[in-house]
Amino acid sequence: MRPLMLLAFASTSLLAQPFSAGIKAGVPLTDFLSATENGTFNYTAPTQRYIIGGVAEVRLPLGFGVEFDALYRRLSYTGAGTLASDIFSTSTASGSNWEFPLLLKYRFHFPVVRPFVDAGVAWDTIAGLKETVTESGGAASPAASVSELQRNTTAGFVLGGGVDIHAIFLHISPELRYTRWNSDQISAVNLLHSNLNQAEFLVGFTF
């Protein structure tokens, strides 16, 4: 009888932990891609101005919590230059980039505005990356494969900090976040590569 009572108590305690969900949006403080030129072939990568996605959190005792995000940004780059046999080529690639951080969070004990720190791991996935190529003024044609794509997925570790503002039923959480990725996803002859160091300013709105 006692084990059953302990199990029921543990289950009730787990279900009683506050759960919140909402949206998270922000801007990158670093470029996802670094692009350079060598006079023969040049890459350019426009800065993506927004990040948006969903957030869910389970709050634990003693100020701790576990947060999971799914964050989206657009990815694109172009390349132009002279290839073998003096053929001028232009390529344009675009796709979606998804980031999935899993974080352990600690909130300091203040009444309304509560500073917090978080740390954890993240996975980054490039999806639907497609490239079109135009050679010497001809018609654009889809590439059979994206040569710059080295791997679709990588992982890294995350550090962050911010404040949690409790406004009646809404939590507003501005945050600075740093991610260090393990490996390049995109790379091309030292002219184009994905940045291993990533910084973001994010704001969460949870209920």
Q: How confident is the model at residue 2 (pLDDT cuts 50, 70, 90)?
A: low
- For residue 92, the one-letter residue type is T
Summarize the confidence of residues 53-73 as an average pLDDT: 97
Q: Which pTM was predicted?
A: 0.86
> What token pair was written down for 159?
């550090």
Q: How confident is the model at residue 17 (pLDDT cuts 50, 70, 90)?
A: low
| Pairwise CA distance, residues 132 & 206, whole Å | 40
| Pairwise CA distance, residues 48 & 9, whole Å | 48
| Pairwise CA distance, residues 129 & 141, whole Å | 15
Summarize the confidence of residues 36-45 as an average pLDDT: 86
Q: How confident is the model at residue 3 (pLDDT cuts 50, 70, 90)?
A: very low
Beta pairing, strands 113-135 & 153-167: antiparallel
| Pairwise CA distance, residues 200 & 175, whole Å | 8
* Per-residue pLDDT at 153: 98
* Per-residue pLDDT at 112: 85
Q: How confident is the model at residue 75 (pLDDT cuts 50, 70, 90)?
A: very high
| Pairwise CA distance, residues 83 & 192, whole Å | 16
Count of Cβ atoms closer than 10 Å to residue 97 Cβ: 21
Res. 6: pLDDT tops 70? no
Res. 4: pLDDT tops 50? no
> What token pair was written down for 142?
């889809």
Hey, which residues does 82 pair with through a beta bridge?
88
CA 3 to chain centre: 43
SS3 call for 145: coil
- Among 23-37, 57-71, 130-144, the least confident range: 130-144
Sheet holding 33-35, edge to edge: 33-35, 192-194, 187-188
Summarize the confidence of residues 17-28 as an average pLDDT: 93
Residue pair 120/158 in contact by the 8 Å Cβ criterion: yes
